[in-house]
Amino acid sequence: MPTETSTGALRRLIEGFDRFRGQHFENDAELYDSLLEGQHPEVMVIACSDSRTDPAIICGARPGDLFVIRNVAALVPAYERDNRPHGTAAAIEFGVAALGVRHIVVLGHSFCAGVRCLLEHDHGRDRFAFVSDWVGVAQEVRDEMDGLVTEAERLLIARRAEQAAVLLSLRHLATYPFISERIREGRLSLHGWYFHFGWGTLQAAEGPRGPFRQVDPGEVPRAASG
């Protein structure tokens, strides 16, 4: 039988829902009345599943502001049609083709366990059956980092790899025909952001291959593409 200790996390979620209901449904009924008619987010965020980096919390977003896709390490596979299910690609397609988002933000972060798995994966053994295959989407990042890692530089290389994974996902996004077409027409822009939660800072990529530059308060960073 569950104990009070084991159910404490769930209790906090229910208490959080009660606060959410009071804030939005009771004090901001107009917002939810408008959302009943459908969602019209202008921004899609592709973020990591990490519990510490919720994009809505980081950005102070309201319900309806963001169309969010989350997966391990915020990775985007390159465009591929092979008649197999592709969850991330399906969500990207829906956000772009059905909802007409104007911006796609790839949001990476520091101390990412998914990127660490990519860098430290034993090529001869699968530590994780599914995670190891998934982070292989960023094989190019691992190849780039090979030979650079020493014990003294391990943390530095990890931060560099996390940013490189964001840039690779940006370049993969551009391989989707429905995205590249909208970029050419000026209807869509791509952004690469990096959240360092140890420092509480946000950096933005200035192009699909970087570099990253810190975003100052009140500043709207320019797109990496589009």
SS (H, E, C) 166-183: HHHHHHHHCCCHHHHHHH
Residue where the block lists tokens 């919720």: 54
What average pLDDT does this structure show over 28-32? 78
Query: Considering the entire predicted model, what is its pTM?
Result: 0.90
Residue 155 has a pLDDT of 77
Residue 88 has a pLDDT of 97
Residue 125 has a pLDDT of 60
Residue 126 has a pLDDT of 61
pLDDT in tens, 127-171: 788 998 899 999 999 988 876 756 547 778 889 999 999 999 999
The helix (run of H) or strand (run of E) holding residue 48 is strand 43-48
Q: What angle do CA 77, 167, 181 make, to 5 degrees?
A: 65
Cβ–Cβ < 8 Å for 138, 168: yes
pLDDT in tens, 192-219: 999 998 889 999 999 999 999 999 998 9
From the list 177, 155, 170, the residue with the least C-alpha distance to 44 is 170
pLDDT in tens, 71-99: 999 999 999 988 888 999 999 999 999 99
Residue 12 has a pLDDT of 93
Query: Higher model confidence: residue 101 or residue 117?
Result: 101
Backbone angles phi, psi at 198, to 5 degrees: -75, -35
pLDDT in tens, 109-125: 999 999 999 988 654 56
Residue 33 has a pLDDT of 81
Angle between helices 113-120 and 154-173 (to 10 degrees): 100
Residue 226 has a pLDDT of 84
What average pLDDT does this structure show over 34-39? 86
DSSP code per residue over 130-197? THHHHHGGGHHHHHHHTTT--TTTHHHHHHHHHHHHHHHHHHHHTTSHHHHHHHHTTS-EEEEEEEET
Whether residue 211 has a cis bond before it, omega within 30° of 0: yes
